[in-house]
Amino acid sequence: MKFFDDYLYKYDDLLFKERLTNEEYDRILSKKNLFHCVQSMVSRIMINNQLEKMGVRDFKLNCDSLGKPIVLEPKNQLQISISYSNLFVVVAISDEEVGIDVEYSGRKFPKNIVENWNLREQSMNPYRIWTSKESYLKFLGLGLRKSINAISVDCLPLCCNMVTDTGIKMALCSQTITVSNYVITFTSVTNRFIIKPCHFLN
């Protein structure tokens, strides 16, 4: 546990608190799981660094009422989506709604989840199906507050997916990529976004 304590201390010193509202900073440090706390800190630093590269200044990071990260900066209406899995953190930044999800594929996918999918989905890569559903829910800003069973996924060529939401009669395309043993899917309307991956303990 000392390694994570040192890691936390290191990032606590890196221009970190000045880029967060007090509420967001306290929320991250209040996490009971220290590993999750480190994941949150790494994602916030990734966001900070990318926004500075984009020329976005004098911003603050906070969460909306549903817990979705937002940029508090009047001239730039930027949307952010974050996902963690194992030692991997991914962040998507866009000027429109965006959702991203990552899952470590080096373990067997839970059979009880797959059994609730339609037959077509059951024949596909389960990590691609799951991340497609998750990234769509993050695109909506709902996370798992919405039933995942109302969402179906068709895997198309060129790593594209057609995501259909029978609840609100919406269909969107998402895209899936694989980095090492991690499957990453991102959802947006026009694909105007930046993705930052980080295998943060390397």
Ramachandran area for residue 90 (φ above 0: left; ψ -120 to 50: alpha; else beta): beta
Residue type, 149: N
Distance of CA 180 to the CA centre of its chain: 17
| pLDDT recorded at residue 120 | 92
Q: How far apart are CA 154 and CA 118, in angstroms?
A: 11
Q: Are strands 160-165 and 79-85 parallel, antiparallel or unpaired?
A: unpaired
Token code pair at residue 173: 């395309």
Residue type, 109: F
Look up residue 20 and give its DSSP letter. Answer: B
What number of residues does the chain have?
Answer: 202
Tens of pLDDT along the chain (202 residues) come to 333 344 444 445 444 566 666 777 777 778 777 778 878 878 887 888 888 888 887 777 777 777 777 777 656 678 889 999 988 889 998 888 889 999 999 999 999 999 999 999 999 999 999 999 999 999 988 766 677 878 999 999 989 999 998 877 777 889 999 988 999 999 988 766 566 666 555 4
- The pTM score is 0.81
Q: Are strands 69-72 and 60-63 parallel, antiparallel or unpaired?
A: antiparallel
Residue 52, CA distances (Å) to 19, 45, 149, 171 in order: 11, 11, 39, 34
| pLDDT recorded at residue 131 | 96
Q: How far apart are CA 80 and CA 93, in angstroms?
A: 5
